[in-house]
Structures are given as C-alpha cells and as structure tokens.
Chains A and B, each alone.
Chain A
Amino acid sequence: MQPAINDDKRMILVCCGTGCLANGSMEVYRALQEQLATTEVQVETYTKSTGCNGWCEKGPLVKIMPDDITYCRVTAKDIPEIAAKTLQNGELINRLLYRDPKTKQRVKSHHEIDFYKKQHKVALRNIGEIDPASIEDYIQRDGYKALGKVLEMTPLQVIDEIIKSGLRGRGGGGFPTGQKWKACAAVDASTRYIICNGDEGDPGAFMDRSIMEGDPHTVIEGMIICAHAIGASSGFIYVRDEYSLAVKNLGIAINDARTRGYLGPQILGSQLSFDIEIVRGGGAFVCGEETALMASIEGNVGEPRDKYIYPTEKGLWGQPTIINNVETWANVPVIMNGGAPAFAAIGTEGSKGTKVFSLVGKVINTGLVEVPMGTTLREIIYGIGGGIPGGRKFKAVQTGGPSGGCIPADMLDLQVDFDNLTKAGSMMGSGGLIVMDEHTCMVEIARYYVNFLAGESCGKCAPCREGLKAMLEILTGICKGEGSEADLDFLREIGETMQIASLCALGKTAPNPVLSTLNYFRDEYLSHINEHHCPAGVCRDLTRFYIDVEPCTGCGLCAKNCPMDAISGDRKEPHVIDQDKCIQCGECRNQCKFDAVKAR
C-alpha cells in the first residue's frame, strides 16, 4: 500500500503521462528509486509515478512535496544531484527550475507559474497528484465518496442533481447530460448500457487520454453513478487503440474496483449490480461519433446512422444506451460530492463548470489547461499560454479540432463556452485550441483540415464525401494560384449544403474551417486569387523569399539551415537567396533572429 501525501513524509511525484514517458520519465523514476535505496535522507521519502500534468513540453516533471518544488526536463543524470542537494539539504537546483520567459526569474513551484495558477481544476483535479494505479490514492482524495452518497438516493434524485448542475457533454455536442439520462431512464426496457467515449480521434487533443491514464477511477465512479441512475448493468469504455497506457491503467482500476466491491454484483451491499469492459477503438476519427462507435462495438463497420431515434431509446444492440465523454464522466463524482449548486456556480449562463483545453501551436506554454467556462480566449492564450513566441503577431485560433473554425484577433475577448463558439462559426468540439501566428496561411490551413477530414470521414453520405472532395480540389487550386472568385461562391455553396444535408456531425461541421476563414480572412483568399500572392509566405507556388539588406547582420544562420544550400554571403555582410535553388520551405525565415527574411 502506498502512503498518502502528508507533512511528516516527503513525496516525490514523477510525471509518467505518455508525453513524459516518451521523454524518459520512467528512467528518472527508476533512478530515483535506486538512489533513495542507497542514500540516507532525514525525512522519510516516497516516490510516486503520476498521470500527465499537462505540461508535457517541460517534461519529465518531478515534483517534491510538501516542499512544493517542481523540476522541469529532469533526466536520470540529475537524480544524484537532486538527492544530495534538495533531498538532503533542502537546497534548490536552479538549473532545473522553470524560468519565466517574461521576468527571466526562476520559479520554485509550478503553483507559482501563470500556466497553473490561472487554471481551475475539476475534471483534472487528481491528475499529477495521485498514482493512477493506486485505488487508495483515489479514495484518499474523496474517491468513491460520491458513490456511497448516491446509493442512498433514488435514481430520480440523482438525475435531478445532474440536471440542476447544468452539466453538458464534453465530447463535442454539448448535450445536457442530465436530460440524456432522464430520457434513457424513461424508456421501458429490461437491458440498458452505458458507454464511455474515449476514442479521442482529434489530432493534438489529449485531455481524455490524460484522464484515463492519470485518474481512471473518476471515470469508473461516474459510470457507476449513472448505472444507479438509469438502471444499467453493464458498461463499456471505448478507448482509442493507440492509448495503451490508458488501457493498462483502466484495466488495473477496474480490477481494483471489483476487489473493493465498487463493481460487480450488489455494489457496496446495495441492489445495484454493474460491471465494465474495455473495448479498443476502430481507428478512424469518425469512430468517435456515437452511432459509429456503437456499430464498431457491435462488430460492424464504423459508419454513423441517422439519429432520429436517439441512442437513449435504441442504442447498443438496440437497447437504451447512455454514451458520455471521458471528461463528462470525470465531472459526475464532483457534482454528486459537492452538490449541483457548487458546480453550477462555475461557468456561464448556458455552460456550467470548467472545460479542459489542449493548447497547442504558436504559443509559449503548450499543454492541457482547465479553466471555467466563459474564460476569454485572450486569458487562455496570453494569460495562461504566455502569448506568441518570437515576438510575432497572433493571427487566429482554431477551436474544436479538425472541423472547428478559425477565430480572428479582434475576437480574442470572446468568452469561451458552447454557445459563443458556435455563434462565432466554430465549436467547442473536444476542446482543441490551436494558436496560429502571422506566418500561418489561412487558405492553406483550410486546405489542410479539409484534406484531413476527406480521409477521416466515413464516406457514407454524398454531401460529406463529395463535398470534401470538391472543396479539397478547389482549395488546392487556390493555394497554387489557380483559383477564381467564383470558386469562393462555390465553396460557400458546398459548405452550406454539407451543413444542412450531411448525415452526421462530422459532415455538418467539416465546412467550418473553410467557411470561417472565408468570413474572417477573405482578403487572404483574394490575394491568392487575384495577386497570386500568399501574404503569409506559406504557399510555395506563390511565395518568394528574399533577404532584406537593412536588418541582415550576416550572421549566416539562414545559410547554415537552408536544406538546399541556396543562401550565400560573406560573414557580417547581407546574404542573398538564389531563387533557382530555393524551394520556399521558409526555414531561413524561421531561423532569422533579425526578421530579415521577407516573403513576397
């Protein structure tokens, strides 16, 4: 049994989320254990491997409690020094502390860093704090307390509490969770199913992975609470196939929950019997769509169907089914523990609670951030994310994953919630936030996402399949300078048809990247079409790079990094680009510290 974190003992938490593992955190963890076995330290010290802290870019992270020290980018080689200095003498190792890029100061604890300070953790409350393989750790932090409480309540009371909390599904649609449960409970049937959607096919998003890996019991507890509320006896967790650590940790958690009587027959001596099985996902992005997902569990091809009869009435194997997203499930125990009013006190009128975003792209701090609904884009990107690196200008942020829209700079004060994002021509989706700077071409971005979706749509219905195919051809043409203004009208016509006519939400939302960029960045399309010019300097056929002699210091960095050896010049003299050799990759512009490389 692992001891809990308290004051008379010291706890060293090593982040072992997928991101940190990839950077070698397991070696760090082992080195630490070996070191502790051989070193004398005054205070009793324990090590713990935790789930993802959401700050993968700075990983592997090592946190020392209760001293509250956070070391970044730790390697196994740093361990003897950590033991000798920090553990024995309480000395800080400056080199391993986070350096605030604004103040240039070293920061002792992650709690002092804007990236964490400005967050509000509900769904991610335990992640990074507990060992996901330890049910005691979860219980220590109020785990399974909500379940005990719920079993004393009637199913209707539970549903009522979820309705009152205002919780809306975090998987994209934002459907009110309590209403869904109520509809399912009202259907007359002998068998009901519960599904956790852990498919997370959205590239770049990893909030669900983090929860499944870092706090698997919260998902399980949420599902058991629902089982009591709607009267279900079996549940499935559908996990994306690549998520092997999530599968492993969920498997351990399910076993431990069974051993403790939280799963299985007559849970905690009540009438409720419920168990959970893990199913590994089918692969395509569209398999995350609930009807496709259920088809996939049934062993059929993962294609969506029309939902004129909801899954709450006829879902898995034709039985009433509740399907909720991982993050949705993670909120359920919190609501039942703290009560609906406390949860509903966070957020906006129409969107209660918090939302986890995966903040990536051209922003200084990348990673998972959880903030109250209604937080502005500016606060997320500048307050938490630290702004745009390299002193460049912010251009747009894409929200909601591949079929989200791009929101421009003059809308940075938009308060992020389900309804505002939809109104802005984008969506909440799973919570992806991709920040783009002035070197991003919005036409190319639209083309990129359409290309992704063309390969990930199931191809069942005509508007989505043929619409994406046609949009891709048109956008590729515009990026090559072969477009016309009539193309823009046709793009809009195709997009509007897909929005109303497509079978599932993939096709209905797929035109967002195109329509939103057409709305907010039409000038950029027109430059490509009329002037054969890519203002961002991205579309290779429309871009020529040249070096401005004024700012050029002749440092030679560009020449060293050019893959084509196209740049020449004497040291300390302005350099020139040989246009015959240049392939417009833009590497010189990325490297130049003096902003001397320009695109035309």
Chain B
Amino acid sequence: MKIRIDQQEIDVNPGETILEAARQNGINIPTLCYHEAFGGQGMCRMCMVEVKTAHSTNLVASCTYPINEVIEVHTSTPVIEKARRTIIALLYRTAPQSEFMKKLYQEYKCVENQLEINENERCILCRLCVRACEEIGSSAISAILRGTEKRISTPFDEASTVCIGCAACANICPTGAIELSQTPAGRTIWNRTFAVVTCQRCGQAFATREQLDYIAQHTGIKGSESKLCDDCRKKNLAAQIEQYAQ
C-alpha cells in the first residue's frame, strides 16, 4: 500500500503504525514514550501528526495509529508545533535538572512561563522503565495512583519482592529519575539492596545474585559463563575463536 508522508510517497504494510513507516523511510517524528523494542504507548503525545483520510482530517498519535487505508500525513504543521512546544514546556517542569529536558526546552524555543519550578522533580512519566521491567526485568514497577498524583513505583512503595535489581529501568530512563547506587557492598535500587556478583576475570561488579538466578531460571544459562561480565564474556569468546583459528 502506498501512502504519502510529508509529500514523500512511501510503501507500507497494512497495520503498520505511521511512526514505524516514517522511521523506516528516514522521516523523523519526535517521540518521548516510544521505544522500538516496545512499540507505541500513546502517552507523551509528541508524535502527533495530521492525517487526511478520504473522509476527514484528524490529529493522531503516530505511534499508535495503524495504517489501514490510503492516507496523507503531515508530520509538522504550525498547530502541531505549538502543541509540541506546550507539552515540552509542561514536561520540562517534571525534570528541570535533566540534560534531556533542558535540551528539548531549548530546541522547542519554549518561552519562560510563570509556573514554579521544583528542582527535585525528575520523572516525565514516559513509562519506558515500566516497559523495560516488563520485558527485561520482572514487572516489579508500575505507574501507581492517578491524575496529577501519578508516579512510578513498586506496589505500595515497599521494597519489591520480585525486583531482581537488573537496573534495566534506570538504564533506559532518559532523565535519570531512578535512583541507583552501586558500591562494592551492593547495588541499591527501589528501596532494596542487592548483593553484587563480581566478574571472575576483571573484578568488576556486573550483576546481582537475583539477576543471575533469574536468567538461569528463564534461560538455563548457568556455570562459569554467567560469572563473567559482558565485556569479559565477549573477550573470552574472541579468545576461544582465535584459539580455534590457530
């Protein structure tokens, strides 16, 4: 099926989202809550585009809009740009210290407003951490409460019993909102401290005990392989290949 995005004619598979189709064709649409590993969530609304069908013209979130008919898409109009700028201005307040939001604030030329800024706020609620935890970790965190009280946490804000301390959430967070401290004594995340396992080769702390157990349970990878950090495992593999080659 052929559709047009910003005057460019592109070939798409029915059911594909506008965002996916655009990205595959090198057309950029801004996003905050989208990640190619998880698909569209429709939360930040930055990916809004204008869609013309045979019957109507609408503004839609391109990350969740499936293409099922011939459409014409505009990824940027004055109305859309203004809305994006307002969203950034509002979200900036939720993570004013982060380089990520500071940069967007400038990029969108947000004008200063009279709203108070609380420097302690850190989370833009894109929920990428929740998705990462579902996919990589153990669904230990979620968006709790509702309305303007909404935030990310473990159930009842207590130290999670299912968390494996993999830190996938902290790693994916664009604004550094998730507190993670790592010392030789252990890794602390979501109110819980995990014993860390050090790499048998380089001595780096690279994972938590719970994480390795979880991997062992779900993949069956055990033994010495799991006692090496990613780097050393690769080096190890390279060395083995070299040996065979000789």
Chain A interface (Cβ < 8 Å from any Cβ of B)? 284, 286, 301, 305-306, 308-309, 453-463, 465-470, 472-474, 484, 486-487, 490, 493-494, 496-497, 500-503
Contacts and interface: CB of A to CB of B under 8 A. Distances in A.
B147 A486 contact: no
Contacts of B64: 305-306, 308
A473 B42 CA distance: 26
A575 to B, nearest CB: 41
Contacts of A284: 146
Contacts of B61: 306, 503
B183 interface: no
A459 B115 contact: no
A484 B83 CA distance: 22
Contact of A308 (B46, B66, B146, B149): B66
A472 B79 CA distance: 24
Contact of A465 (B65, B66, B113, B150): B150
B43 A461 contact: yes
A512 to B, nearest CB: 17
Given A462-B45, A474-B115, A502-B45, A455 B147 contact: yes
A473 B115 contact: yes
B202 interface: no
Contact of B45 (A309, A457, A461): A461
A463 B147 contact: no
Interface residues of B, number: 35
B161 interface: no
Interface string B64-108: 111000000000000100110011001101100000000000000
Nearest to B33: A462
Nearest to A484: B114
Q: Interface majority SS on B: helix, strand, loop or mixed? A: loop
B125 interface: yes
Nearest to A286: B146
B83 A459 contact: no
A43 to B, nearest CB: 57
Contacts of A472: 148
B60 interface: yes
Contacts of B48: 500-501
Contact of A468 (B65, B124, B148): B148
A501 B87 contact: yes
Contacts of B90: 462-463, 466-467, 469-470, 494
Contacts of B60: 306, 308
A509 B113 CA distance: 23
Contact of B148 (A308, A459, A500): A459
B44 interface: yes
Contacts of B116: 473
Nearest to A499: B83
A555 B91 CA distance: 56
Contact of A500 (B59, B91, B115): B59
Q: Interface majority SS on A: helix, strand, loop or mixed? A: helix
B145 interface: yes
B143 interface: yes
B59 A462 contact: no
A469 B116 CA distance: 11
Contacts of A301: 143
4 shortest interchain CB distances as A-B pairs:
A459-B150, A466-B90, A497-B86, A306-B64
A292 to B, nearest CB: 11
Interface of B: 32, 42-46, 48, 59-61, 64-66, 79, 82-83, 86-87, 90-91, 93-94, 113-116, 124-125, 143, 145-150
A186 to B, nearest CB: 15
A301 B145 CA distance: 10
B91 A466 contact: yes
A462 B44 contact: yes
Contacts of B82: 493, 496-497
13 contacts: A305-B64, A454-B148, A455-B147, A457-B148, A459-B150, A462-B44, A462-B45, A466-B87, A466-B91, A467-B86, A468-B148, A490-B113, A494-B90
B195 to A, nearest CB: 33
Contacts of A461: 42-45
Given A487-B114, A490-B114, A497-B83, A462 B147 contact: no
Contact of B43 (A469, A473, A503): A503
A460 B79 contact: no
Contacts of A493: 82, 86
A486 B114 contact: yes
Contact of A497 (B42, B87, B145, B149): B87
A234 B123 CA distance: 42
Contact of B91 (A305, A456, A462, A502): A462
Contact of B146 (A458, A486, A496): A458
A27 B155 CA distance: 46
A455 B59 contact: no
A460 B33 CA distance: 11
A484 B150 CA distance: 29
A286 B244 CA distance: 63
A463 B42 contact: no
B44 A465 contact: no
Given A466-B90, A469-B148, A500-B83, A460 B59 contact: no
A462 B125 contact: yes
B45 A463 contact: yes
B86 A456 contact: no
A493 B87 CA distance: 10
